[in-house]
Amino acid sequence: MPSLWTVAAREKDAPVVFSWGGGPAMLDPYFREPLWFQTHTRHGRLWAYNLEHLNLLSQYVRATLREHDPWYEPWRKMGLFGRLPGWIKQAKNRDEALRGLDRMRSSLAA
């Protein structure tokens, strides 16, 4: 009897590949399937792996003040938010980024 959860994603020894855009859709690095949460804006593509990731991005974009310790700066390069595209972090693009995130969230209700 076949399994209900059969996934033909990648070969056993195939590497996990992270794609950073450029293609028609963002792909899950393990299953190589298009992500459910993705949308386009005039500045670039927004995407999230799951609802928790989407909520985290929304909280970050909504924040008007992003504090950090001035003597400790690895957050600029190493964290999740340090690797976001610059246009998402800019206050002038906040409304457009939030509209894109809300579009992704509304796809859950559809």
pLDDT of residue 78: 63
Q: Note the pLDDT tens digit of each residue in 35-68.
A: 889 999 999 899 999 999 999 999 999 998 877 6
The whole-number average pLDDT for the span 70-94 is 77
- Catalogue the long-range contacts made by 59-67 (C-beta closer than 8 Å, 24 or more residues apart): 60/84, 61/88, 61/94, 61/97, 61/98, 61/101, 62/94, 62/98, 64/91
Q: Note the pLDDT tens digit of each residue in 10-22.
A: 566 766 655 555 5
Considering the entire predicted model, what is its pTM? Answer: 0.72
pLDDT of residue 12: 67
Q: What angle (nearest 5°) sits at the alpha carbon of residue 50, between those of residues 86 and 10?
A: 100
